[in-house]
Amino acid sequence: MNIQHLSYIEIQEKLKQNDVLLADIADALEVSRSHVSHIARGNAVSFRVAKAIALSLNLEVSQVFGDKYANQNSQGRKGRVKRKAQIKDAILNNKPVPTPSMA
C-alpha cells in the first residue's frame, strides 16, 4: 500500500506554522542539520529523525512520510545493543548468527 506523504516544501511550511526549524530538531537530537534535511527530503532514512519531525508537526510518522517507515522497528539503539550482543555471542561461540526472528 502506498500512503500519501508530505513533500519537503509541505513539511517546511507546516514546521514554520509551528515555529520549528529543522535546525531545532537537529539540535534536539544532536545530529547534523543536513541529516535532518536529508530525512525530510526523503533522501535518507532514519526512523528516529522522521519521528521527531512528525512530533514537531503533531502528526503520525505515516501522515508525514507515508508508508516509508511502515515496517520500521522502533526499538532504536537499545534494540541494536541487544542484537549486536547476540551476533557477538554467536561468533565468539563459533555458532551461526541467529536470524532476527529467532533472537
The domains of the chain are located at 8-72, 73-103
Tens of pLDDT, residue by residue over 32-54, are 999 999 999 999 999 999 999 99
CATH number of 8-72: 1.10.260.40
d(CA 18, CA 50): 16
pLDDT at 5 over 70: yes
pLDDT of residue 2: 56
pLDDT of residue 103: 44
The secondary structure of the chain as a DSSP string is -------HHHHHHHHHHTT--HHHHHHHHT--HHHHHHHHHTSS--HHHHHHHHHHTTS-HHHHHTTTTTT--TTHHHHHHHHHHHHHHHHHTT-PPPPTTT-
* Type of residue found at 85: A
Q: Which of 38-42, 47-51, 78-82, 84-88 has the lowest mean pLDDT?
A: 78-82
